[in-house]
Amino acid sequence: MSVPLQLGFQDPASYIMQQFHEFHDYAMIFIVFITILVFYALSLLSFSAPTHWKFVEKQNVELWWTISPAFILIALAVPSISLLYYMDEGPNPEVTVKTVGHQWYWTYEIWDNQRIEIDSYMVQLEDYKTEGLPRLLEVDNRLVLPLNTDIRIITSSTDVIHAWCVPVLGLKMDAVPGRLNQMFTFIERAGVFYGQCSEICGSNHSFMPIVVEAVNKNVFYQWCNEMAE
């Protein structure tokens, strides 16, 4: 979960999010280099105007400031395409979860050996019984998912456009009425991960949080049996 004055990403809990971190650091190398180069050039121009014809009409300079951006774009495109490939459809998911957005709560339908349906509402401040729960982020029914499992998440909505987003897992997908969108994840570490609706969906948009609890498979199947009873 994010903390005050945090500048970087949250610690990743999935392979995809780890790749996001690495691509971010990789892209920042180019951004910092270009920023320093531009400010250096501006500082030189502010003290000495380039009036000499060999500089103003230099063909080699024009050639390089045309070719260099092309190489930079290629260097950024290759890892980004690879990352998009990893985000693509996964092979034979073991667990399928359907998340349905409502104004203003989430419904989760889980298909494994049986079908489970739960509603997830934000816990009101006056209902808090445990100290230390994050304000406006805790829910009455968490979505429990297993570790080290190929999971498919299907999103949809019953009214307006919502967005199901859990930053730690690198997941963000619009929930559109009458349409099914899907994403895949593979959770690598246990924990409780928080997210929120990321599409403005009405007056209570800020009050429909998402909580994913990642547990081992035995605990997950035990939870499924308890919810099915």
Q: What is the pLDDT averaged over residues 9-36?
A: 89
Give me the CATH code for the 95-228 domain, please.
2.60.40.420
Query: Is the Cα torsion angle 191, 194, 123, 101 positive or negative in sign?
Result: negative
Pairing status of strand 95-102 against strand 151-157: parallel
CATH level 3 topology of 15-89: Helix Hairpins (1.10.287)
Count of C-beta atoms within a 10 Å radius of residue 19: 17
Q: Which residue has the higher pLDDT, 91 or 135?
A: 135
- Taking the C-alpha atoms of residue 188 and residue 179, their distance in angstroms, rounded to an integer, is 29
The span from the CA of 218 to the CA of 80, in Å, is 36
Confidence (pTM) = 0.79
Q: What's the DSSP call for residue 213?
A: E
Alpha-carbon torsion angle 81, 86, 92, 98, nearest 10: -100
* Beta pairing, strands 209-215 & 191-196: antiparallel
Percent of the chain, pLDDT > 70?
89
At residue 115, the pLDDT reads 79
CA–CA distance, 124 with 112 (Å, rounded to integer): 31
15-89 against 95-228: fold identical: no
Contact 91, 112 (CB under 8 A): no
